[in-house]
Amino acid sequence: MQHSSGYIVGFAVAICLVCALVVAGSAVGLKDRQDANILLDRQKKVLTVAGLMKDGASLPREEIVETFESSILQKVIDLKTGTLNAEIDASGFDQQKAAKNPETSFVAPDNLSKVRRLPNNALVFDVIEDGKLKALILPIEGYGLWGTLYGYIALAPDARTIVGITFYSHKETPGLGGEVDNPRWKARWPGRLAFDDRGKPAIGVKKGLAGSIADDPYNVDGLSGATITSRGVTALVRFWLGENGFGPYLASYRAKAGV
Ligand SMILES: Cc1cc2nc3c(=O)[nH]c(=O)nc-3n(C[C@H](O)[C@H](O)[C@H](O)COP(=O)(O)O)c2cc1C
């Protein structure tokens, strides 16, 4: 039996419609679950950078949530003044969304990290153990070679010594810039110093190998074959530790903590 052209076109259109409905339906239906998984992944990254979870470990969801809730205090701060903004609920605050909305953000000063807008408020984390502050965690982001890298840096209570760094999203090439995810490279960061003696952000990723922490405290080994990503990481870390990023927050913390 031979079908008319109209029948074939109609059949194809019907199949397309059914497929489109299935795809759209599952995208909408799975949105909540995707959002929950994104949140869980962020919590995992925060715990990893704080040294509370082994890099790459796979723990049950309940354990991650429980450790996060018992050890991490989320705070929303005013980025320009560095003071706490208690009016915003930290658990539902999306800093990236806030940075995109002109009503909750402002144009960033020129910077090497290609950060275009800065949020009025930012989400920071305190790591608390036995009632004592163990680390400060700050979100970081900036351009590498192919796109924006998003992650966290953790500082010790002296607000100077690095506890860890991690990225939860980037577009760098696996094996080159993508080595920012390599636990061995990330292990080069703890113990290095984020700021020089005058309080200027000084940490950076150098080309080639860095010396020991004692001899070369402000440098981390370069990512081989990925100088552009390495430079991007240097720029973004310095930007967020600097006066246009978390400088005011860290200054207010230092004044209160007496460090
Ligand atoms: C397909 C392809 C992917 C690349 N991906 C990256 C990358 O993710 N990050 C990076 O810095 N350089 C990447 N590069 C290399 C850069 O173009 C550039 O050569 C490199 O950053 C220079 O680093 P080097 O001086 O350490 O060799 C890539 C090159 C090619 C051809």
Whether the CB of 172 sits within 6 Å of ligand 1: yes
14 located within any domain? no
16 located within any domain? no
Burial zone of 17 (CB within 10 Å; 0-12 exposed, 13-18 middle, 19+ buried): exposed
- Give Cα separations from 98 to 120, 143, 189, 249 (angstroms): 8, 19, 29, 18
User: Which residue from 143, 145, 172, 233 has its CB within 8 A of the most atoms of ligand 1, so it is best to mutate?
Assistant: 145
- Give Cα separations from 259 to 199, 200, 253, 255 (angstroms): 12, 15, 8, 7
233 located within any domain? yes
Q: How far, rounded to the nearest angstrom, does the alpha carbon of residue 154 sit from its chain's CA centroid?
A: 11
Nearest-angstrom CA–CA distance, 14 and 200:
63
Per-residue pLDDT, 37: 87
Nearest-angstrom CA–CA distance, 48 and 226:
24
Mind giving me the DSSP string for 67-86? HHHHHEEEEEEETTT--B-T
Closest residue by CA, ligand 1 atom 2: 173
User: Which residue from 167, 173, 182 has its CB within 8 A of the most atoms of ligand 1, so it is best to mutate?
Assistant: 173
70 located within any domain? yes
User: Where on the phi/psi map is residue 79: left (φ > 0), alpha (ψ -120 to 50), or beta?
Assistant: alpha
Nearest-angstrom CA–CA distance, 218 and 191:
10
Whether the CB of 145 sits within 6 Å of ligand 1: yes
Burial zone of 230 (CB within 10 Å; 0-12 exposed, 13-18 middle, 19+ buried): buried
Token output for 102: 């002109």
Per-residue pLDDT, 160: 97
Q: How far, rounded to the nearest angstrom, does the alpha carbon of residue 39 sit from its chain's CA centroid?
A: 12
78 located within any domain? yes
21 located within any domain? no
Nearest-angstrom CA–CA distance, 210 and 199:
21
Mean pLDDT in order along the chain per 10 residues (259 residues): 85 91 85 85 94 90 95 97 95 94 97 97 97 97 98 97 97 98 96 97 97 97 97 98 98 95
**Could you tell me the residue range of the domain that residue 154 belongs to?**
45-53+63-257
38 located within any domain? no
Nearest-angstrom CA–CA distance, 135 and 126:
6
CB of 233 closer than 8 Å to CB of 205:
yes
170 located within any domain? yes
Domain count, the chain: 1
Whether the CB of 179 sits within 6 Å of ligand 1: no
